Amino acid sequence: MTVFCWPARVYWEDTDGGGIVYYANYLRFLERARTEWLRALGYSQRALAQEAGVLFAVTSISVQYRRPARLDDELVVTCNPSLGGPATVRFEQQIHRGGIPRAAAGEELLVEADVRVACLDARTLRPKRLPEFLVNALSVKERS
């Protein structure tokens, strides 16, 4: 089984006066990877909101900051999703420094995160069962 990977580059906007990426900004990288994983399944979040009436909201996140990323670094963000309940997806994610080959080698782990995302009704903002395509995608993944 392969883990979904998405590249990111560190720009000035991401860094802070300490010369490293600001701690909140890693959460932006993490979310880009989750969004691109969904897009790779064929679904954009805008379409899901408008057509399926479904929004996703992070309900909890736990982040370990191992080493800092710096300006111009190339990062690889991984995204390993699983079913977390009828209305919840759980994402185990990592951010590595370096091109995709280096990340595969497990070198230079910068950040680890465990993220729980709830599926909400776009109108009422109440929890809503995951769309079938997501349940299927996550179930297939677990069997493989």
Distance (Å, whole) CA 124 – CA 120: 8
Q: Angle at Cα 112 formed by Cα 1 and Cα 103, nearest 5°?
A: 55
Residues 6+ apart with CB under 8 A from 1: 141, 144
* Residue 53 lies near a copy of itself (rule: CB under 8 A): no
Of 17 and 101, nearer to a copy of itself (C-beta) is 17
Of 17 and 144, nearer to a copy of itself (C-beta) is 17
Residues 6+ apart with CB under 8 A from 124: none
CA dihedral angle for residue 95, residue 133, residue 120, residue 28, rounded to 10 degrees: 20
For residue 142, the minimal CB distance to a copy of itself (Å) is 25
* Residue 126 lies near a copy of itself (rule: CB under 8 A): no
Using the rule CB under 8 A, which residue among 51, 72, 107, 142 binds a copy of itself? 72
Give residues in contact with a copy of itself (CB under 8 A). Answer: 9, 11-13, 15-20, 22-25, 27-28, 31-32, 35, 44-47, 55, 57-65, 68, 70-72, 125
